[in-house]
A and B are shown apart, each in its own frame.
Chain A
Amino acid sequence: MKVIFKTSYDNDIDLHEDWWDRGKMIALVAVMAVLPFFLGEYYMAEITNTLIWSLAGMGLMLLVGHTGQASLGHAAFLAIGAYTDAALMNVGVPWLVAFPLAGIAAGVFGAIVAIPAVRMSGIYLAIATLALFVIVEEAIIIAEPITGGVGGLFAPSITIAGIDFDRYASLNNFYWLCLAVVVLVTWLYANLMRSPTGRSFLAVRDSEVSARALGINITRTRSLAFGLSCAMTGLAGALMGHFITFFNYELFSVFISINLLLVVTIGGLGFIQGAFFGAILITAVPQLIAILRDGAMSTLGLDLSMPGLDTLVFSVILIGFIIYEPTGLYGRWLKIRFWLELFPLARRDMFRRQKTYLKTERMK
């Protein structure tokens, strides 16, 4: 087991506890950066998709995992990001300007919506955000001059300083662009979580009563979390628009919202890493099932191409996770790592969850 000898407060303030940890993160980004040299187009497109989903997942993670608010309407913010970005680019705004604006538009919209919404919590908030999603969907159809209505909208290919980032013509460039965005947003998110702002999010999540007693303005904190969450999701939406290239309102269905919620719950609520684990699961498992099915067809001669089977297997996996591993994929990974570090001293009941007792409900 690793023991860190801390010599200054900076050891705790830094993102990584030591150079070994920092090195692992750098190595991961480096490996991700050189992937296009080793993998074919099919895999690169899939990985790009996973990155975009991770970004959207991080957006929802901030809200659900770190501030304890549910949202079933995040597809709406994906849509706002995608449409803002594409519509601005269609009138000639360069991507470098349109992209941040897409995030800001989704964020500002989210923060405004949040002011009344944050008075609700739990299932009520989920329903309110679902209603919001329906409104946004209708608004997209109505605002035809900007959004192309039912017909949809074309996201122009990205060019920065003469370099082409088109999703088809130069997929690798587009992948690197997505990677850069995800790395930057992850870094900002991680910074936020180690700062007073991040702590106030956690405070609001764990005990509203004592958060107020500590001087935390609940409404403002929750609105801020809502806004930041929507901004991140909006950025993901903008990238998703470019990835799909031609989209209409149907791309942002309520199933996207539910999938996003699955990303954060199955990935591991309350961990940034969880968003990545969840995104990998959500994007890779359907592909994996398809590959296995084709394999069964060619080697065993089993025809498993009946409709709905993929979805069934996928759903069983998801339900299994929710029942047997409520802390998510990342939580499971932490347990495995802990077990290995302590080997052979780990005990079976080490992770048995303790019931929180004496929690007062009186002032809620």
Chain B
Amino acid sequence: MSLLEVKDLAVHFGGVKAVDGVSFSVEEGEVFSIIGPNGAGKSTIFNLISRFYKPTRGTIKFDGRDITHMSAHEIAPIGIARTFQNIELFDHSTVLDNLLMGRHTHRNTNWLQDMWFLPKVRREEREHRRVVEEVIEFLELEAYREKLIAGLPYGVRKVVEIGRALAMGPKMILLDEPASGLSVEESQEVAYWVEDMRRDMGLTVLMVEHDMSLVNQVSDRVLAVAQGQPLAMGTPAEVQSDPQVKAAYLGTEVYE
């Protein structure tokens, strides 16, 4: 059984069919990429999975559970973490606190216990911190640990976003354009991290990305969408040679 099963997913905003009849499934431990021209509905698919948008039609199943009608905040506890295309960090907090906020789903204390800072709270804080330190080490964020997000360069913020998602200890991570705006070296690092996430952490990765070299390097399978509709699915090579995909990106040839 697949980890994530999306069936006939559609969302319409008024007359705009942002996503229309997209189906795919992601196997456990797979790196699955969604590609497509701008406005194809890639990020909308992400927002549907993380329940920011209500689907007009279709079902989403994760780990055997129907998550189509769950609330947005119920998605994280079942093991889906995500990053955002346009960085959504907590700007007035330090990198460390941002990562600790990623541990929210693992808290076992309530506000009353927190208020008196019972020994249990301290024990849990230490545990959260230990996990966060692992993430910091993995993403090599040591130098930025106590820096405020507001003062960090763009590339580092992107990495902190990935870190915050990883701190959740998810089963599946949704990366929304992890390499956009990054230099060649930085996106190469992202490629290594995605490989490590899969190999060492056993994570399933669902990724939206424009950088085709990154997609080719890490993806097991690729889904191409255009104008909300699926075009082709298969290995990166298969999808790139698909005539429909070529047409969507480059336009069709005119024969005379």
List residues of A whose CB falls within 8 A of some B CB.
9-10, 12-13, 188, 191-192, 194-200, 202-203, 206-207, 209-218, 224, 228, 270, 354, 356, 358-360, 363
Query: In the bound complex, what is the Cα–Cα distance between A210 and B73 (angstroms)?
Result: 10
B122 interface contact, C-beta 8 A: yes
Query: In the complex, are the beta carbons of A360 and B85 less than 8 A apart?
Result: yes
Interface residue stretch chosen among B27-35, B74-82, B227-235 = B74-82
Q: Which 5 A-B pairs have the closest CB atoms?
A: A215-B76, A195-B114, A206-B90, A360-B86, A210-B88
Query: In the complex, are the beta carbons of A188 and B116 less than 8 A apart?
Result: yes
Query: In the complex, are the beta carbons of B87 and A206 less than 8 A apart?
Result: no
B residues 140-175 near A (Cβ < 8 Å) are 150-151, 154, 164, 168
- Nearest B residue to A269, CB-CB: B92
Query: In the complex, are the beta carbons of B117 and A195 less than 8 A apart?
Result: yes
Q: Dominant SS at the A interface?
A: helix
B182 interface contact, C-beta 8 A: no
Subset of 14 A-B contacts with CB under 8 Å: A188-B116, A191-B115, A196-B104, A202-B92, A206-B89, A206-B92, A210-B88, A210-B89, A212-B72, A214-B76, A354-B150, A359-B86, A360-B84, A360-B86
Quick one: which of A191, A216, A224, A359 contacts B104, CB cutoff 8 A? A216
What is the 8 Å Cβ interface bit string for chain B, positions 15-27, against chain A (1 contact, 0 not)? 0000000000000
Query: In the bound complex, what is the Cα–Cα distance between A360 and B89 (angstroms)?
Result: 11
Quick one: which of B50, B52, B104 contacts A200, CB cutoff 8 A? B104
Interface residue stretch chosen among B1-9, B95-103, B184-192, B204-212 = B95-103
**A200-B104, A209-B84, A360-B85 known; A214-B91 Cβ under 8 A:** no
Query: In the complex, are the beta carbons of A203 and B130 less than 8 A apart?
Result: no
**A13-B126, A191-B115, A212-B52 known; A207-B72 Cβ under 8 A:** no
Query: In the bound complex, what is the Cα–Cα distance between A88 and B110 (angstroms)?
Result: 30
Query: In the complex, are the beta carbons of A198 and B74 less than 8 A apart?
Result: no
**A202-B93, A202-B97 known; A214-B102 Cβ under 8 A:** yes
Contacts of B168 in A (CB 8 A): 214-215
**A214-B164, A218-B73 known; A356-B88 Cβ under 8 A:** no
Query: In the bound complex, what is the Cα–Cα distance between A9 and B124 (angstroms)?
Result: 11
Query: In the bound complex, what is the Cα–Cα distance between A199 and B81 (angstroms)?
Result: 18
Query: In the bound complex, what is the Cα–Cα distance between A363 and B168 (angstroms)?
Result: 22
- Nearest B residue to A14, CB-CB: B122
Query: In the bound complex, what is the Cα–Cα distance between A37 and B85 (angstroms)?
Result: 61
Query: Smallest distance from the beta carbon of A108 to chain B beta carbons, Å?
Result: 14
- Nearest B residue to A358, CB-CB: B86
**A206-B91, A210-B84 known; A9-B126 Cβ under 8 A:** yes
- Nearest A residue to B103, CB-CB: A196
**A202-B97, A210-B84 known; A197-B114 Cβ under 8 A:** yes
Contacts of B124 in A (CB 8 A): 196
Query: In the complex, are the beta carbons of B129 and A9 less than 8 A apart?
Result: yes
Query: In the bound complex, what is the Cα–Cα distance between A24 and B237 (angstroms)?
Result: 65
B220 interface contact, C-beta 8 A: no
**A202-B90, A209-B52, A210-B90 known; A12-B129 Cβ under 8 A:** yes
Query: In the complex, are the beta carbons of A207 and B114 less than 8 A apart?
Result: no
B residues 54-74 near A (Cβ < 8 Å) are 71-74
Query: Smallest distance from the beta carbon of A184 to chain B beta carbons, Å?
Result: 11
Contacts of B213 in A (CB 8 A): none
